[in-house]
């Protein structure tokens, strides 16, 4: 390394393949050690482009984001959500571990982490590329790009990181415990970096790059005001991250100069410096050095266990690809005789209590708020580790309903209180991020929230929860007209069920009007089939069967709407949906096909509530 004060030179590091399996083992052991060190010193942004696999040595580059402070944001929504606080202060923040980012509902998502980002990079974001460079048809098009040389290879071939997760865990554990053993010496050594300049990452560089690239589109180059309005999209995240407001003018100035905004601080300072030298005092509530020292004081076996769980879970989630053609089957032994109802009910209740106790042990609580971190389905057959959100499908509402009803049945306040804490987190999150919810469905939209608050309001005899459900229902009409999901999970069919239940309890005619609007949307989007009618509920799929996304679920909703609205047209549409569903029944399999997947000539059949006979009532 050659130090030139304001800049420097370092030796070029070339990616190199490993020659023996032990070298790959060594690579991941060392990477686990780096992960522990970076976790200790508040390192972040160590994604695929900042890691080079030089044989058995992982080489970290671009070491500008160490001692990374946190913005002073007591009013931020995240400040009261303990699970978000926990995950933002965990090993996942470093950037080495897999983290799937979603591109859109139709995209498969991408992973830019050092461990998860791979050579094939079928999950990378599309980037601009010049095509037909040597021809008159030269053009810019968006293509997927290979991430780089961040992962080791064995004799030129890719390796499976899951085969080496024990090596990562060992490396992490050894360095973690070594830091604990020499904690005082380690803390003293940190003073050497107190006055160094470090980069502060307020937003992902990728988001700046995307905004800058879009700002060169002809539509916003005709008038400078149009381009400036485009840059005003920076304000969108301010409700969630209020501290960003102080930096937006500087961000826009840099973007107008055609550059990526850059912010700096020092490990011993709470100030934020802009690129032009301007200082925003006390931008951070604590210095990076203070954060590191506090973290080192919290290093113990309990924290080590938590971080190892996150490491293993993130690796497992990366590898967990839903493959219906390879789904495991389970043979449940048939008992000689059915147990009596009393014995069965007692067994069910004990199983429910065991689940609740497990949820309680995994809950992250702070004050009156609670949350969870878990593998979350990220769409397109992929999983990622994340905090549970507001949706009923795989978020906190389902947990809250389960705990609340169990608490009422067994008379245990522990479960009821935890359910109430989860409910507070849901309310808090929706208060600040409700503008992002554009789905109306029963499981991943507004209707799921309405369903949750309706049930808990009745169970706990809390009218204010019912009132909140009615208030949220007023957000539905403009969204119903735009609904493209249509089904029980995310669309109008699920919304009908929820509105019907709430209407029967409160008798508000606005709820009936909204439900009829949902029915009209279903009638408008129905497609004539050889027999009956169906709906396109998932992109690039024919009208599906089944309850969650298919004709069975939609027909059930239309029948319910016909019953409480008294309008015959909805019943006729429901009968048409049943005709379509029945037309696809396989007499040989005694089941309905799962039309979401195509595997050559093979037809797949599900046996779940969502897809298959258990959910079909036709």
SS3 366: strand
Handedness of CA 502, 505, 510, 515 (dihedral sign): positive
Cβ neighbors of 16 (< 8 A, separation 6 or more) are 53, 54, 55
Q: Where are the alpha helices (DSSP H) in 150-300?
A: 165-181, 183-190, 205-214, 224-231, 248-256, 288-297
Kindly tell me if the per-residue pLDDT of 598 is higher than 90.
no
Q: What is the pLDDT of residue 287?
A: 96
Q: Check residues 74 and 167 and name the one with the higher pLDDT.
A: 167
d(CA 147, CA 213): 19
d(CA 29, CA 35): 10
Q: What is the pLDDT of residue 121?
A: 46
pTM for this prediction: 0.85
Answer whether 437's CB lies under 8 Å from 495's CB.
Answer: no
Cβ neighbors of 608 (< 8 A, separation 6 or more) are 614, 615
pLDDT tens digits along 505-540: 999 999 999 999 999 999 999 999 999 999 999 887
Q: What is the pLDDT of residue 614?
A: 82
Give the containing element (helix H, strand E) for 499: helix 492-506
- End-to-end Cα spacing for the chain: 73
Q: Check residues 592 and 188 and name the one with the higher pLDDT.
A: 188
Residue with tokens 């030269």: 138
pLDDT tens digits along 317-370: 887 665 555 555 555 677 777 778 888 899 999 999 999 999 999 999 999 999
Q: Check residues 122 and 403 and name the one with the higher pLDDT.
A: 403
Q: Which domains does the chain have, with CATH numbers?
A: 1-109+150-202+284-323+369-384 (1.10.1070), 388-522 (no CATH), 526-618 (no CATH)
């Amino acid at each position: 390394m050659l130090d030139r004060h304001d800049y420097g030179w370092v030796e070029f590091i070339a990616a190199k393949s490993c020659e023996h399996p032990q070298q790959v083992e060594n690579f991941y052991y060392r990477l686990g050690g780096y992960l522990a060190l970076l976790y200790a010193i508040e390192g972040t942004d160590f994604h695929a482009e900042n890691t080079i696999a030089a044989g058995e040595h992982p080489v970290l580059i671009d070491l500008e984001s160490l001692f990374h402070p946190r913005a002073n944001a007591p009013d931020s929504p995240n400040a009261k959500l303990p699970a978000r606080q926990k995950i933002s202060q965990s090993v996942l923040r470093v950037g080495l571990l897999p983290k799937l980012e979603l591109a859109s509902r139709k995209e498969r998502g991408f992973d830019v982490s050092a461990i998860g980002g791979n050579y094939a990079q079928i999950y990378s974001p599309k980037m601009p590329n010049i095509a037909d460079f040597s021809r008159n048809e030269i053009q810019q098009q968006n293509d997927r790009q290979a991430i780089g040389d961040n992962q080791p290879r064995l004799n030129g071939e890719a390796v499976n990181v899951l085969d080496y997760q024990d090596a990562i865990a060992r490396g992490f554990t050894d360095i973690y415990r070594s830091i604990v053993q020499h904690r005082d010496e380690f803390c003293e050594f940190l003073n050497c970096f107190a006055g160094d300049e470090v980069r502060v990452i307020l937003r992902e560089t990728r988001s700046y790059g995307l905004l800058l690239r879009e700002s060169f589109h002809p539509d916003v180059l005709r008038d400078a005001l149009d381009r400036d309005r485009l840059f005003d999209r920076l304000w969108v995240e301010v409700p969630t991250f209020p501290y960003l407001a102080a930096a937006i003018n500087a961000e826009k100035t840099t973007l107008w100069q055609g550059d990526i905004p850059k912010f700096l601080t020092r490990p011993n300072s709470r100030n934020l410096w802009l690129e032009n030298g301007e200082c925003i005092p006390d931008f951070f509530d604590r210095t990076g050095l203070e954060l590191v020292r506090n973290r080192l004081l919290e290093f113990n076996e309990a924290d080590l266990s938590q971080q190892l769980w996150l490491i293993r879970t993130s690796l497992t989630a990366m590898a967990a690809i839903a493959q219906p053609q390879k789904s495991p089957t389970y043979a449940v032994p048939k008992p000689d005789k059915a147990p009596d109802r009393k014995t069965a009910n007692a067994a069910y209740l004990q199983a429910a209590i065991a689940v609740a106790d497990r949820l309680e042990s995994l809950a992250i609580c702070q004050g009156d708020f609670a949350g969870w971190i878990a593998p979350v389905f990220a769409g397109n057959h992929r999983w990622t580790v994340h905090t549970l959100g507001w949706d009923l499908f795989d978020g906190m509402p389902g947990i809250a309903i389960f705990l609340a009803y169990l608490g009422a049945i067994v008379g245990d306040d522990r479960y009821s209180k935890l359910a109430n804490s989860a409910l507070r987190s849901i309310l808090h999150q929706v208060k600040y991020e409700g503008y992002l919810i554009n789905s109306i469905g029963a499981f991943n939209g507004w209707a799921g929230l309405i369903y949750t608050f309706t049930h808990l309001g009745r169970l706990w005899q809390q009218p204010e929860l019912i009132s909140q459900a009615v208030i949220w229902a007023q957000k539905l009409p403009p969204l119903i007209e735009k609904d493209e999901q249509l089904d029980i999970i995310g669309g109008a069919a699920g919304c009908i069920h929820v509105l019907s239940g709430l209407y029967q309890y409160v008798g508000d005619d606005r709820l009936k009007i909204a439900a009829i609007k949902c029915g009209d949307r279903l009638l408008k989007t129905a497609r004539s089939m050889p027999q009956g009618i169906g709906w396109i509920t998932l992109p690039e799929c024919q009208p599906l069967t089944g309850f969650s996304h298919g004709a069975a679920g939609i027909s059930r909703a239309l029948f319910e709407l016909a019953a409480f609205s008294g309008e015959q047209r909805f019943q006729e549409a429901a009968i048409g949906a049943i005709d379509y569903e029945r037309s696809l029944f396989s007499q040989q399999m005694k089941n309905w096909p799962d039309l979401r997947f195509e595997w050559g000539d093979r037809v797949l059949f599900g046996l779940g509530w969502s897809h298959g006979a258990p959910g079909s009532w036709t």
